[in-house]
């Protein structure tokens, strides 16, 4: 399976510990295509329908359904956790992710 940056996949996040986000949910692939091609892991950010104005969250519209990308919950997962392709972010949403990650980590 070819896994592309800023694509959204259904991913099984269980088991979890403590305050980690759980269950099977849509997640955005954050890791770049070059990493996704060669590594057996991907860096992801889960989506939520809980809309809170945290500075580490980015709004997105997936098939007419408003969600938030939880960049405060970045996680590396094995590709075997990916269940199926769901959607792809638009350029505005992917640019917003880059901005927030830059502000968070740089």
Domain boundaries, the chain: 7-105
Q: How far is the C-alpha of 104 from the C-alpha of 106, rounded, in Å?
A: 6
pLDDT tens digits along 67-79: 999 999 999 999 9
Distances from the Cα of 95 to the Cα of 22, 27, 102, angstroms:
26, 17, 11
CB atoms within 10 A of CB 7: 19
Residue 65, exposed/middle/buried by CB under 10 A (0-12, 13-18, 19+)? exposed
**Hunting for tokens 């505005």 — which residue is that?**
92
pLDDT tens digits along 76-97: 999 999 999 999 999 999 999 9
For residue 1, the model assigns a pLDDT of 85
The CATH-assigned architecture of domain 7-105 is Roll (2.30)
pTM to 2 decimal places: 0.95
């Amino acid at each position: 399976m070819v896994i592309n940056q800023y694509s959204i996949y259904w991913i099984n996040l269980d088991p979890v510990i403590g305050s980690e986000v759980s269950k099977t949910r849509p997640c955005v692939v954050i890791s770049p295509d070059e990493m996704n091609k060669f590594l057996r892991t991907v860096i992801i950010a889960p989506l939520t329908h809980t809309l809170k104005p945290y500075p580490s969250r980015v709004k997105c519209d997936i098939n007419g359904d408003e969600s938030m990308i939880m960049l405060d919950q970045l996680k590396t997962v094995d590709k075997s956790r990916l269940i199926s392709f769901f959607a792809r972010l638009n350029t505005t949403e992917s640019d917003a992710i880059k901005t927030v990650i830059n502000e968070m980590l740089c």
